[in-house]
Amino acid sequence: MANPYMNNPDNTDPGAADRKKDHIELAFQSRVPHHEIDTRFYYEPLLSGHPLTLDNLKLKFLGKEFGAPVWVSSMTGGTALAGTINKNLAKACAEYGLGMGLGSCRQLLFNEEYLDDFQVRKFMADQPLYANLGIAQLEHLIESGDLKKVDQLIQKLEADGLIIHVNPMQEWLQPEGDVFMKSPLQTIVRIIESVDYKIIVKEVGQGMGPKSLEALLRLPVEAIDFGASGGTNFALLELLRSTENREKNYRNLAQLGHSAEEMVGFVNTLIEELGQDLKCKQVIISGGINDFLDGYYLTQKLNLPAIYGQASGLLKYAQASYEKLQEHLEMQLKGLSLAKAYLKVK
């Protein structure tokens, strides 16, 4: 039977002469030096046909169906552009079957002025949507006996649960930052004991070391979201908002942290060590994920169900227009589907 996907089903190849001319002209510009070869993968050209759809990307994660293993990392809200950005991101989640974390919903706890920017459930069908609060606010809410405000927030947003961001370095460097009176771990344990919605815990761009990861993996949290170093760095961002003198003294703090790849290694070792004590069994690999190849590499390398998340990489397109975001995601997901067919992680 003729292949309906062939460009020239009759095999006449009318463009051959032009193509051969292009090949000769471009051949000298088309050499990849040895040091540029991506050594993360085995390339296996013999073992698959071309994927014709994105069906090979489907998976179940966070208790829901995903069309592809991609997460929109928590970003913005409460500024002029935020409503449009969040709406575009949410629509993309519905169209491609992705999940999304909202940016910090702190403003909504006591004031509904910006509620509209965050109420994106109506655009994203039943795809996973998580509200987001910082550990400092949660510590305060526990102290003041107001934790029920978080329940109300989740209900208002029709969210599936809460992402807790843990960001001591950012808070310390932020001129208007908060101070933690307790360890974030104590606060997280207290929340888990008091609520019945799903919890995801994340950093915001410096990642976490093995002791923090171990503590989280021992808890019944729905997932860990790495927020690793190597991409957007909020310690650096706060320094750029600060004085020249502070920037000079503390720039070294922005260079601390862990890359997503290093964290994958930590988690793989911990899975072995923890055995039956492993309670958290899903990971969102995020922080410095540049493209589908980074995401594919790391999700394959991790020995737990995983998807990959991007913040700034999607923000660029989401703030331009929905069409730009669509175009970008389509290219990325087709690339990911091809990677899945022909690449094996070393």
Ligand X SMILES: Cc1cc2nc3c(=O)[nH]c(=O)nc-3n(C[C@H](O)[C@H](O)[C@H](O)COP(=O)(O)O)c2cc1C
Q: Please answer whether residues 68 and 94 qualify as being in contact, where contact means their C-beta atoms are separated by less than 8 angstroms.
A: no
Q: Decide: is 89 part of the binding site for ligand X (CB under 6 A).
A: no
Burial class (CB in 10 A: 0-12, 13-18, 19+), 170: buried
Structure tokens at 295: 């995401």
Alpha helices in the chain, H assignment, sequence order: 16-26, 82-96, 115-118, 135-143, 148-157, 168-173, 184-194, 210-217, 234-240, 244-254, 260-274, 292-301, 312-318, 322-342
Between 104 and 332, name the residue whose CB sits nearer to ligand X: 104
Distance CA 309, CA 73 (A): 5
Question: Between residue 182 and residue 221, which ones bind ligand X under the rule CB under 6 A?
Answer: 202, 204-205
Q: How many C-beta atoms surround the C-beta of residue 178 within 10 A? A: 18
The correct pick among 127, 206, 212, 310 for binding ligand X (CB under 6 A) is: 310
Closest-approach residue to ligand X (CB): 231
C-beta of 51: minimal distance to ligand X in Å?
Answer: 25
Length in residues, the chain: 346
Give the 3-state secondary structure of residue 199: strand
Between 114 and 342, name the residue whose CB sits nearer to ligand X: 114
The correct pick among 57, 75, 124, 336 for binding ligand X (CB under 6 A) is: 75
Query: Binding mask 161-180 vs ligand X (x if CB under 6 A, - otherwise)?
Result: ----x---------------
The correct pick among 62, 313, 329, 340 for binding ligand X (CB under 6 A) is: 313
Query: Binding mask 91-110 vs ligand X (x if CB under 6 A, - otherwise)?
Result: ------------xx------
Between 106 and 342, name the residue whose CB sits nearer to ligand X: 106
Nearest to 76 by CA among 101, 109, 112: 101
Q: Decide: is 86 part of the binding site for ligand X (CB under 6 A).
A: no
Query: Binding mask 269-308 vs ligand X (x if CB under 6 A, - otherwise)?
Result: -----------------xxxx-------------------
Using only C-alpha atoms, the chain has a radius of gyration, in whole angstroms, of 22
Q: Decide: is 333 part of the binding site for ligand X (CB under 6 A).
A: no
DSSP 265-277: HHHHHHHHHHGGG
Q: Decide: is 257 part of the binding site for ligand X (CB under 6 A).
A: no
Q: Which stretch binds ligand X (CB under 6 A): 74-82, 169-177, 189-197, 328-336?
A: 74-82
> Which residues bind to ligand X, rule: CB under 6 A?
73-76, 103-104, 132, 165, 202, 204-205, 227, 231-232, 286-289, 310-313, 315
